[in-house]
Amino acid sequence: MRPEQLRLALVVGMLLSAGLLITNPIDPQMNTEVIFDDEAMIRIKDESVEGKSHQLVLRFRHDDGDQITSNLTRVQELMQLENEFIDGTNPDTAWSKKSFTIQRMVTPFAIWSDAFDSRNRSLENATQWANVLLPEIDEGWCGSGANAEEKAAFEASLLMLPEGTNFGIACPAFAGASASQPPVADEILWIIYAGSSEEDSDWDSLRHWADRNSENTDYEITAVGVNMMYGKAKAIAEEDLRFVVIASFLVLGAMLTIGLRDWQSAGATLCGVGLVVGAEFGILSALGFEFSIIDGIALPIIMGVAVDGAFWYSRSSRNREEVRSMLFIAMITTVAAVSLAIFSPIRAQRSLGLVMAIGIVLDWVVTRYVLEDFFIDRREKRNGNGFEDEELTHFSAEWVWPVALIVLASIAVISPPGVNVLEVEQFLPPDDPSLDTMDDLQSKYILASSTTAWVVVDVDGSDESDFDALQDLQKQLGQHPSVISLETGLLQTPVVVGISQSGNATTIDEAADQSLDSAVFGDMRLQRNGETVGVSIGVLIDGENSIAAMQFAEDTEDLLEQNGFTGVVGGDLPTGGRAAETFEQSRVTQILTAGAAIFVVAMFVMRTPLPAARIAIGAIAIGAAVDGLASSFGGRGVNTALAVLLGMGFAADYLAHASADHTPTKLDMSARWWAALSSASVFILLAMTTFPPSKNSGQLLSLSILLSAILATCLAFTHRPTNH
């Protein structure tokens, strides 16, 4: 195939690939499922009787700030609002968003209504509290004589009413409470379970519903909770991404035009960048690749890397074959470093690493096979067949290379140790109001201050011995010091929600069929083809102590083994804590492994060990320094790991340019630094965003590419001058 035909085929193919975005638009996700793999949650999602759902929370206060639960009129108003939310009878208050389905709602008043109904008292039709509170139920809903509905009402009151509430009939055992009085609280929570299909992550639509109904009713309604915070983070990231992509094209256009002194070459480079981005995302979207919003960070990075070839072909005095060789070595060593992320145990790293690696390869393909002849032709038209180049020095400065390596190593040595646990707070700017709201919730609600650890146990739903053993396991779990307990003053009940003993049930299926669902969690069975093959046990643990969460997971795994069960332990905090621990233990090894990979591919291509070793050593030095700098920019963590690998890739890229054995020249130096500054300008834009992973990556990448250019310059000065 002639070069013209290959070029045309590539352009047409990439344009068609980009066109796939029309029929396969990208809907990036932002939740824990796209950040890390949680085996327990995967099992629950695939096998749950109810289907995997996401827990969303609405907080209700009256506009006047006064009591809600002791005011019967307000209780009934909110019960009506709940009905309208579901049945859609009132378009002003109904849930109309089709982007995700509401599987079920858990509200304290609906559960209270069931408790009163169990004693033939109607909360909906009551005209005063005495209609449902008298005659008194002496022990209320927390006493030994309470029925299943009343126990559920007590659980709901503890979880969905704030701390300091006078619980009244919910538990007269509390000091100051009375069975003749309703609970007294000035705010309540609703818990909404949203469907789990891939499209069901537009949590911000619930925020819009809350804002609209705050205006249409006498209540201040706020969408809160972890998933809403992820929704807020997604909205921030999308807004940042729109800014960065548009601004990056403008800034790159300006830098290319000034640096290349040729608007046509600048325009062709930008067209190539657009072609790469469109083609990659079109193909991945058509193949069903599940993008996370974090993958958007790859866009400006791919754009920044793409300018490299334009400057070396257009501004350096090197011939076609020399530039080809340099760019190929740069591409393959960069990909070798970044590709290590594809083998990471953390899903977000694998996803972002894959997107970056593909983008870097496509950048090289477009530069090499589509734009190369154009760049060479434009250079020859400007310069003719000769180049006015000159050596920058007539002496060797071999000492600058080891000094630069020592400086980089010192950055790594003096950096503080430690790794941040991957949690939702890392995806929101530190001054975001959602963080203050979450702090307020955590100070008032057990549900907000805790996190759910999930224990998935393999059992036979019809086996009596499994049922008995499961009851023992649940009691043992409740004895762990990390488990949160509900205290009535007389009793302490750990929040371990699985399959409860009910009536005369002797199997798991019988118990699940006879008992009411938990007020919060629902049916906990896991089934395949209609047969119960497991149980998910939800355990509330301290949401602020990642070390305790990891210890709980470890102890529970031992407990499963001791009881003869197989299963897995998961949940956001235990899994996030373990991910951070794994990263802390492997980050140095990862840097060294990336260096080894760079050496292997460089040696394979260059066939000479000394330049390959220099490239690998320099890349390791940059990686160690960037890892050290990460502790000063938001903290070292799994979010910064890929920036470290990419920094090593940049180092390999620029060191590959400088590894040729000749004295540095004016044009070579110009090409190197214009490429570095153009890429850095895009990363600086990324550093100006508010989405913390983007901001931190932009800061680290800006520094890493500048350090890489400096180190490459130092390496270039080690070459002996030409004899004159």
494, pLDDT greater than 80: no
Residue range 29-39, pLDDT digits in tens:
777 777 778 88
Closest CA to 713 of 392, 255, 336: 392
> Coil, helix or strand for 416?
coil
109, pLDDT greater than 90: yes
Residue 201 tokens read as 């992550």
CA atoms within 13 A of residue 719's CA, in its CB half-sphere: 21
Cα–Cα distance, 175 to 33 (Å, whole number): 43
Residues 567-581: what's their mean pLDDT?
Answer: 84
622, pLDDT greater than 50: yes
Query: Which element (helix H / strand E) includes 639?
Result: helix 638-658
Cα–Cα distance, 80 to 591 (Å, whole number): 59
- Band (pLDDT 50/70/90 cuts) for residue 586 is confident
Residue range 223-255, pLDDT digits in tens:
887 777 887 888 888 888 889 889 988 998 899
Cα–Cα distance, 55 to 66 (Å, whole number): 27
Q: What is the pLDDT of residue 455?
A: 93
- Give alpha helix (H) positions in 515-608: 546-562, 572-606
CA atoms within 13 A of residue 416's CA, in its CB half-sphere: 10
Q: Are 682 and 299 in contact (CB under 8 A)?
A: no
| Of 522 and 721, the one with more pLDDT | 522
Q: Are 134 and 420 in contact (CB under 8 A)?
A: no
Cα–Cα distance, 95 to 87 (Å, whole number): 8
- Band (pLDDT 50/70/90 cuts) for residue 132 is very high
Q: What is the pLDDT of residue 391?
A: 62
Segment among 13-22, 184-193, 227-236, 367-376 with least mean pLDDT: 227-236
- Band (pLDDT 50/70/90 cuts) for residue 724 is very low
Radius of gyration of the chain (CA): 31
Ordered by start, the domain boundaries in the chain are 3-27+231-426+577-716, 51-230, 460-564
Segment among 424-433, 509-518, 555-564, 636-645 with least mean pLDDT: 509-518
> Coil, helix or strand for 450?
strand
Q: Between 308-315 and 372-383, two packed helices, what is the crossing angle to 10 degrees?
A: 30
Q: Is 161 left (phi over 0), alpha (psi -120 to 50) or beta?
A: beta
Q: What is the pLDDT of residue 452?
A: 84
Cα–Cα distance, 693 to 643 (Å, whole number): 10
Segment among 8-22, 194-208, 344-358, 376-390 with least mean pLDDT: 194-208
Residue 1: which residues within 8 A CB-CB, separation 6 or more?
A: 9
| Of 368 and 523, the one with more pLDDT | 368
- Band (pLDDT 50/70/90 cuts) for residue 482 is confident
Query: Which element (helix H / strand E) includes 438?
Result: helix 433-444
Closest CA to 230 of 432, 453, 452, 25: 432
Q: What is the pLDDT of residue 663?
A: 65
Q: Are 11 and 275 in contact (CB under 8 A)?
A: yes
- Band (pLDDT 50/70/90 cuts) for residue 67 is very high
Closest CA to 355 of 282, 300, 293, 281: 281
What does 278-340 look like in DSSP terms, one character per residue? HHHHHHHHHTT---BGGGGGHHHHHHHHHTHHHHHHHHS---HHHHHHHHHHHHHHHHHHHGG
Residues 142-168: what's their mean pLDDT?
Answer: 87
Burial of 527 per CB tally in 10 Å (0-12, 13-18, 19+): middle
273, pLDDT greater than 80: yes
434, pLDDT greater than 80: yes
Cα–Cα distance, 227 to 57 (Å, whole number): 8
Q: Between 666-687 and 226-260, two packed helices, what is the crossing angle to 10 degrees?
A: 150
